């Protein structure tokens, strides 16, 4: 066996590969009694110690994925020293890791699993799959706001990818993203002069929040798990003629192969038809997308 150290740690079930990278960078991992560094490789017989404990491959456990309705105030972190962390809140009997993030001030759907390797696979696929949110802001929404949100907003030095936005009330809207920048919706709204007062994620890919009460969770069914794993099995994915790499690190970059080909054609042939804007996100059947009580969502927004 000769694999990267972070992959070895992940496959033992200790943590995700991304978390293993952070542990290595922090100097908390020893490889054969020496402080490990990024890029180290594990070979059969090597000793790996994390925070003073020897890390060994665990017996294969049946993979579980939880769908959790995270409350406001809970932090998405595996660091149990942080007050209000998601791991201590759930108090699940086995070691689990959150898949992705949902900021402390937001609530709604987030997945957790006991399989560290699948966390990395799903995160790599983050930019191809829809995540749907209900959002409430502090003042009346107008057409200009909806148009700017859907076309893309400049935040943190990048322009967000086009998305689908639908007004659901004077102060509220529904938004579907295929991107996961840090506090993306809040920053988009702030750039346009609005402040988010309530934000709830109601869907990730084909999995909806449904009737899961705030602070409660359920297991994904076998068909749901199979569907989730199948959807992240390939390395690239096409969305309405646009191809995005499956990597969180490239979540802010547009990789539009079709547009590049058209641009190249137009330079060599000025009479070639010009490219037209297309919606980069696939349409979904609204009948198949269940949302939690909108009335309750508005009440929570008013209370805040």
Distance CA 76, CA 85 (A): 6
CB 129 within 8 A of CB 121: no
The active-site residue, picked from 46, 103, 117, 259, is 103
In terms of DSSP bridges, do strands 41-43 and 2-4 run parallel, antiparallel, or are they unpaired? antiparallel
Known catalytic residue: 103? yes
Distance CA 176, CA 166 (A): 9
Cα dist from 77 to 16, 148, 230, 231, whole Å: 12, 32, 26, 25
For residue 21, report the phi and psi dihedrals to the nearest 5 degrees. Answer: -60, -45
Distance CA 227, CA 48 (A): 35
Which ranges of 100-234 does DSSP label H, i.e. alpha helix?
116-124, 143-151, 184-191, 222-231
Distance CA 74, CA 83 (A): 8
Residues noted as catalytic: 103
């Amino acid at each position: 066996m000769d694999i990267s150290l972070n992959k070895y740690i992940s496959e033992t079930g200790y943590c995700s590969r991304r978390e293993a990278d952070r542990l290595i960078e922090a100097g908390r991992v020893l490889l054969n009694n020496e402080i490990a560094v990024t890029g180290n490789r594990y070979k059969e017989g090597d000793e790996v110690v994390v925070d003073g404990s020897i890390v060994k491959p665990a017996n294969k456990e049946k993979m579980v994925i939880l769908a959790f309705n995270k409350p406001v105030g809970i932090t998405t972190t595996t660091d149990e020293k942080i007050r209000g962390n998601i791991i201590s809140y759930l108090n699940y009997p086995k070691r689990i890791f959150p898949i992705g993030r949902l900021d402390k001030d937001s609530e709604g759907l987030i997945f957790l699993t006991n399989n560290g390797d699948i966390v990395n696979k799903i995160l790599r696929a983050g930019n191809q799959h829809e995540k749907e949110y209900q959002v409430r802001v502090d003042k009346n929404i107008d057409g200009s706001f909806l148009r700017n949100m859907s076309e893309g907003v400049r935040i943190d030095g990048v322009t967000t990818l086009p998305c689908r936005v639908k007004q659901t009330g004077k102060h509220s809207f529904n938004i579907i993203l295929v991107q996961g920048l840090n506090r993306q919706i809040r920053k988009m709204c702030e750039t346009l002069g609005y402040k988010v007062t309530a934000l709830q994620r109601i869907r990730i890919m084909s999995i909806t929040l449904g009737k899961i009460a705030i602070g409660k969770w359920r297991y994904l069914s076998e068909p749901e798990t199979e569907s989730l794993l199948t959807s992240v099995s390939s390395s690239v994915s096409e969305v309405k003629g646009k191809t995005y790499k499956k990597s969180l690190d490239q979540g802010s970059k547009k990789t539009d192969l079709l547009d590049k080909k058209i641009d190249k054609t137009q330079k060599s042939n000025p009479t070639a038809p010009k490219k037209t804007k297309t919606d980069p996100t696939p349409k979904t059947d609204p009948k198949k997308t269940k949302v939690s009580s909108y009335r309750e969502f508005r009440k929570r927004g008013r209370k805040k």
